[in-house]
Amino acid sequence: MLTTSGLRALLAIVDLGTFGGAAAALGYAQSTISQQVRILERDAGGPIFDRSSGPSRSQLTSLGRLMEHHARLVVHELDAAERAAMDHRDGRGRLTIGTFQAVTTKLLPALIRALAEKNPHAAITMVETETPLPDLDTNDLCFFDSPPQPPDHGELIVADEHLLLAPRGVVPPGAVELHNLRDRPMVALPAICDQGRVELALTDAGVTLDIVFRTTDNHAITAMVEAGAGCAILPALSISPSAAISIHRIHPPLPYREIWVQWRGSLSPLAQHALKLAVLARPNLAAAAIEF
């Protein structure tokens, strides 16, 4: 069976030209290098070096050139794996975070800042999507608005109340009764994830909405409400207050939107640190969610 020590010896001899140079570079006696080459030739099934070329410069045979090609590939990948393992252990590795709008604006900036201060050499990537299921194959951590499905793991970060946005002056001050939303023109998010659960709860309560516009952009929803296109129901953390809109609690309240951070399998030290920061952010997010 081929060994990495034999492959490294082969490459050192090729790169430095002699067995002696390879031995000095690798910290071995020359006899040890010669033994590693003999073992490599035995396992490869033929001579690696042309002994007839003399001692001045080690020349490869055709089998030797073939072995050199594969040795470089193997050693390159092995070195990369060793570096990745070291980065993983020391928190210098890669981290991909799946996110959505409310998390991107209200949680991630402070989290990324704190993460970068502690792990300045880490490669951190964030991907914002609006999908019906969390992407735990691509992302190390994924923020999502529903709990994880076994065997995946998750931590609840915050739950925020659904509120009504209305063009200012259209709805009287104070809470709005749920039945008063029936047939009211509304702008809304796509009917997936949390929005789908909201609309199901409304249907169960006998309330049918007149959806005049759907968009994945929270700011576009606010702009449409400001323009008088209709009202909107959004979770508190997704709302940007505006002088042109009024914000109302809904009675009885709709199910709260839950923001979870989810992951699959074990976490790297870097991902563990990010998870800890997300959990520590709970009080600030909870306070932001009830400001309205």
Q: Over the stretch 137-188, which tens digit does the pLDDT of each residue have?
A: 999 999 999 999 999 999 999 999 999 999 999 999 999 999 999 989 999 9
Strands 94-99 and 141-144 turn out to be: parallel
Q: Over the stretch 250-290, which tens digit does the pLDDT of each residue have?
A: 999 999 999 999 999 999 889 999 999 999 998 888 777 65
Question: Which amino acid, one-letter code, is at 236?
Answer: A
**What's the chain's average pLDDT?**
90
Considering the domain 162-255 in this protein, what is its CATH number? 3.40.190.10
Considering the domain 4-90 in this protein, what is its CATH number? 1.10.10.10
Q: How big is the CA angle at 28 (ends 27 and 29), to the nearest 5 degrees?
A: 135
pTM summary value:
0.71
Please, is 225 exposed, middle or buried when counting C-beta atoms within 10 Å of its C-beta (0-12, 13-18, 19+)? Answer: buried
Reported as a pLDDT band with limits 50, 70 and 90, residue 59 is: confident
Same fold? 94-158+259-289, 162-255 = yes
Report the 10 Å Cβ neighbour count for 273: 19
pLDDT at 109 exceeding the cut of 60: yes
Please, is 96 exposed, middle or buried when counting C-beta atoms within 10 Å of its C-beta (0-12, 13-18, 19+)? Answer: middle
**Does the domain made of 94-158+259-289 have the CATH classification 3.40.190.10?**
yes
Q: Over the stretch 196-213, which tens digit does the pLDDT of each residue have?
A: 999 999 999 999 999 999
Contacts of 35 (CB under 8 A, 6+ apart): none
Q: Where are the domains of the chain?
A: 4-90, 94-158+259-289, 162-255
Q: Over the stretch 124-145, which tens digit does the pLDDT of each residue have?
A: 999 998 888 899 999 999 999 9
